[in-house]
Amino acid sequence: MIDIAIRGAQIVDGSGRDRFVADVGIVGDKITQIGNVGQANVEIDGTGLTLSPGFIDPHSHSDFTFHTNPDNESSVHQGVTTEIVGNCGFSSAPLSEVSVPFTEKRLKNYAYTGEVTWRTFGEYLSEMERMKTSTNFAFLIGHNSLRLAAGIMGEEKVSDDQLKGMKNFIEDSMEAGALGLSSGLEFAPGSYSTSAELKDIITAVGKYDGIYASHVRNRDSEIFDAINEFVDITRAGGVRGQISHFNVRHDSNAPQNAWRRAVDIMENAQKAGLDITADTTPFREGIGAMYAILPRSLVNEGARAIAEACANPASRRELRTQCDRYWRFIHKGQWHRVYLEGSPNFPELQGLSFPAIS
């Protein structure tokens, strides 16, 4: 007797063959039969539905939330069974005593009330095993987290010891099972890093045949430089490369035909022998923290300074001219393209566009 039978679903098996209708039999956690399936303990009618292997989401941030939400239902409902996390330069390991508070703060923002007990990547993965999440995970090491662990908080010059420290963290994490390195070069402290730093530390990833996934430095007026930098880093490390959320927003300051031309840069690198791919978001909107539309110098001054600057009409006018990123359209006044995704203080406004709110 088999455990589960799913009957009459249209099967798309991911091999490239045409879809077909058949029954599927499962014993334990394995598919044992496709075709004629005998009686099962659990019968599921799949008529009119599509059955496929679980999808792999190559760009997930579920590592911010899985401590409090190990069921990960929003991923499962999309058919995702494996997620690559640690993206955009942010991972929860490896940690040093200096960097623990940063990770603790981020996880607390996502309702985590426990303690950050792990330090090494291996300890972090053991913690994951203990939690028993519903989806499978593979982990990147975040460059921002790496910098913080090595005690590099901002613009300061990176010492040889700190470079060596970051490479040691990478090697230790790759030994423990990390996939590779991610960077988030629009976010502090990674935004302060030089290409030379990244080209140096990526060699530690190359030793383990790892991957470099990058939220590149700019997807606005500097997009070509950003993609070229990505290609150079990938080449320097002898690693496989993944350009994260490779999008260009409408009516930003990106050059004419920017996305197509940026893809050409990627394709030329592929022709030259580099193993580079990209992922993109399948919807018009992206998500982000609202403060990120403000210049970094103001954000660094903290919430009170931001509130004061925004309350002053003259400085507000000035702020409108200070954006170097792909959400520059907001500064041009296109607020109908911006929705409030979440606000604990104003839950009744969630999901509304800004013109609707005002």
- Binding interface with Zn ion (CB under 5 A): 88, 215
Reported as type and span, the H/E element at residue 62 is: none
The residue (of 215 and 325) whose beta carbon lies closer to Zn ion is 215
Peptide bond into 295 cis (omega under 30): no
**DSSP H or E segment with residue 20:** strand 20-27
Query: What does each C-alpha distance from 252 to 53, 110, 296 come to in angstroms?
Result: 38, 30, 19
| Residue 190 DSSP label | G
CB of 211 to Zn ion, least distance (A): 15
Closer to Zn ion by Cβ: residue 51 or 258: 258
Which is nearer to Zn ion, 88 or 258 (by Cβ)? 88
As measured in angstroms, the least distance from the Cβ of 347 to Zn ion is 26
In the bound state with Zn ion, the residue whose beta carbon lies nearer, of 215 and 328, is 215
323 vs 333: CA distance, rounded Å: 13
Query: To the nearest whole angstrom, how small is the minimum distance from the Cβ of residue 228 to Zn ion?
Result: 19
What are the Cα distances from residue 34, in Å, to 1, 307, 312, 328?
Answer: 15, 61, 67, 52
Closer of 88 and 211 to Zn ion (Cβ): 88
Q: How far is the CB of 144 from Zn ion (least distance, A)?
A: 11
State how far the Cα of 19 lies from the Cα of 300, in Å rounded to an integer: 54
From the CB of 215, what's the least distance to Zn ion, in Å? 3
| CA 39, chain centre distance (Å) | 43
